[in-house]
Copies of this chain bind each other. A is one copy, B any other.
Amino acid sequence: MLSKKTKYAIKALVALGKNVGNPPMQIVKLAEQEMIPRKFLEQILLDMRNAGYLYSKKGAGGGYSLNKDAADIFLADILRITDGPIAMVPCASLKFYRKCDECHDEVTCGIRKTFIDVRNATLKVLAQTSIADVIGRETDDLLVE
């Protein structure tokens, strides 16, 4: 399951993506608008900022804005910051590889092979879906009608 942290992160990025062109958005406003606990959001935005996805400005008139094009921020990268590995077992992880405690012979492990397939399938979606795509999909239905 996706953590709330990750969901909040995506929602915040989506909101900031829609805010492009306007002055930066304050944490408080973002928190209210997206119904995210303020201090929790604060931490999440910090992480996103430290990872280079957000630009922040202190002081009066400050706030947060995207530091990259929304089309260049991919869900896979966000998930890795907030939730860590995308693979379901550490030994199948691309970016957070770790030997499984229970595993004796990794080379012949049938479980591992299967979960590498799962990881690849998941990544095919998440590494290609950007915040811009998520925003685009929100209005899909409206466009069709």
Chain A residues with a Cβ under 8 A of chain B? 1-2, 4, 7-8, 10-11, 14, 35-36, 75, 85, 88-90, 100, 102, 107-111, 113-115, 117-118, 121-122, 124-126, 129, 133-142
Q: Are B110 and A117 in contact (CB under 8 A)?
A: no
A88 to B76, CA, bound (A): 13
Can you name 26 A-B pairs with beta carbons within 8 Å?
A1-B88, A1-B90, A2-B115, A7-B89, A7-B102, A10-B111, A14-B110, A14-B111, A35-B102, A36-B102, A108-B140, A110-B133, A110-B134, A110-B135, A110-B136, A110-B138, A111-B134, A113-B137, A114-B126, A114-B129, A114-B133, A114-B134, A118-B122, A118-B125, A121-B125, A122-B122
